[in-house]
Amino acid sequence: MRPPEDCRRCALCAGRTNVVMPDGDPSSPIAFVGEAPGAKEDAAGRPFVGSSGKVLNQLLEEGGLPRERVFITNTVKCRPPNNRAPTQAEMDACLPCLESELEGRKVIVTLGRSAARDLLKRDIVMKDEVNRPTKVTIRGKEIVLIPAYHPAASFYNRTVKDSLRETIRVARTYLEG
């Protein structure tokens, strides 16, 4: 299920330029779920094309999972004002789209707390759960979910890139296993 270009399911429609649809390989067994589009993504209509995307692309390439081979999406498809986190109501409105995007995948990597909360239905303390695979049920089927830091966190903390390298390594063991 795709949101229509004129989607009005939540109030984010008022400020967006584009509905930001997923990118990468639509049939990839692995999906990366970010929080929400930022200004660059809103303008381009593609997820992770700004500075977070640069970090993500570099780490994916380095880890042997280039961007073209993975599926990349966000909890919400429209940019929240002032880059605030999406509200629960906004994520709920977009959840049917997200679930249809994730259905049947082998591994889901959530990037940041919003994406983890949206799919796990609970708040997480990132440092306690990062890179610890768990499972979520999407449309009746269990899928491995790996909570990871958001690439933007690497701008403020130098250890985050190493943690994301580990995320990709762990994800690959599930993909290949």
Q: Counting contacts by CB under 6 A, is residue 91 touching ligand URA?
A: no
Using CB atoms, what's the residue nearest to ligand URA?
34
Closest CA to 148 of 172, 136, 132: 132
- In 3-state terms, what secondary structure has residue 79? coil
- In 3-state terms, what secondary structure has residue 55? helix
Task: Please say which residue, 55 or 139, places its beta carbon nearer to ligand URA.
Answer: 55
Helices then strands (H, E): number in the chain? 6, 6
Tell which one of 32, 71, 74, 160 touches ligand URA (CB under 6 A).
Answer: 74
- Asked if residue 91 lies in contact with residue 35, where contact means CB atoms within 8 angstroms, the answer is no
Q: Counting contacts by CB under 6 A, is residue 86 touching ligand URA?
A: no
Q: Counting contacts by CB under 6 A, is residue 3 touching ligand URA?
A: no
Q: Counting contacts by CB under 6 A, is residue 22 touching ligand URA?
A: no
Which listed range, 41-49, 102-110, 130-138, 164-172, lies at the site for ligand URA (CB under 6 A)? Answer: 41-49
Pure H helices in 34-144: 39-44, 51-62, 88-102, 113-120, 126-129
Residues 6+ apart with CB under 8 A from 52: 34, 38, 150, 151, 152
Tell which one of 52, 110, 154, 167 touches ligand URA (CB under 6 A).
Answer: 52
What is the nearest approach in angstroms of ligand URA to the Cβ of residue 38?
Answer: 5
> What are the residues binding ligand URA (CB under 6 A)?
34-38, 41, 47-48, 50, 52, 74
